[in-house]
Structure 1
């Protein structure tokens, strides 16, 4: 007697949910500062300059963090997607020059694969909205710099306060 195994029906919603879960997991593995920059850009739709001002970081750091966040979402080994992500992020920066925009246009026109990779990057950015909402559901990313560095800062502040208290009591 043999059993026949019938293929399970493919539920596209399940595949979509799996993709979102995978993206969320990748985003959760990023450093907290990178997550914060990503969420300020994606959820609050702040530009690089506004994020830099809010977090007291240079624009180049914002660009680097955003690039790191998006690179995490691409397929490993996809060099063309990596370049497309770099262009996508650079073009968001207010420091992007006219020469860079011309170079981007040349790169885009050089091969149909480039246009496709850039289009996929734009779609990927849009697909990150649901995972971003889950990651930033409680609004933690809107807090300032100190909220992210609780580990080191609070220990240093605690030790400093303990030292001052001890000196005050001993003196």
Structure 2
């Protein structure tokens, strides 16, 4: 999703969020959503390649990408939400010719639609720096989202406690 679908122009009313704000919003996402987002944004993998790599349905990859993009849109902005959904859907290998026609109709229906879609494309570009920070240690390239050492310790401790409780150690 690195190519722009509309010509790049600057719109003064577009929401300018700082990299730190964007990074904090991305960090709030579930790890799997972060992983899908980073594989797309940093490694520039297609939805199909991400789906194959993570053994996920293509629609799940699309849903995760939509969730990532929606997390950094202006709140309560219906047009931004719709534009984000179109932006993600158009990147999907499952998008149909009919959907592309529907998108074109939506885009041409009002100048506000074009502006919202353009703002979404600009927002996507601004996510590169926060994405680099989020994926700085390449954790997202693992087949499964990395499990923390602390999480493993807790799981082992709970398993040992359960074994002790049923008298396995007697």
TM-score, with structure 2 as normaliser: 0.79
Alignment of 1:1-171 (within 5 A): 19-145=18-144, 147-148=146-147, 151=151, 155=155, 159=159
Q: Which runs of 5+ in 2 are unaligned?
A: 1-15, 164-168
Going from structure 1 to structure 2, the CA distance change for 1:44 and 1:146 (only over 3 Å counts) comes to: closer
Going from structure 1 to structure 2, the CA distance change for 1:129 and 1:146 (only over 3 Å counts) comes to: closer
Going from structure 1 to structure 2, the CA distance change for 1:64 and 1:110 (only over 3 Å counts) comes to: same
CA contact (8 A) 2:26 2:68 kept: yes
Going from structure 1 to structure 2, the CA distance change for 1:149 and 1:62 (only over 3 Å counts) comes to: farther
Structure 1 counterpart SS, 2:93: coil
CA contact (8 A) 1:33 1:148 kept: no
Distance 2:19 2:59 in 1: 29
Distance 1:62 1:19 in 2: 26
Structure 1 counterpart SS, 2:19: helix
Structure 2 counterpart SS, 1:46: coil
Structure having the higher Rg: 1
CA contact (8 A) 1:32 1:148 kept: no
TM-score, with structure 1 as normaliser: 0.78
Q: Which runs of 5+ in 1 are unaligned?
A: 1-15, 164-168
CA contact (8 A) 2:32 2:145 kept: no
Structure with the higher helix share, 1 or 2 = 1
The two structures, once aligned, show a CA RMSD in angstroms of 2.7
Distance 1:133 1:65 in 2: 18
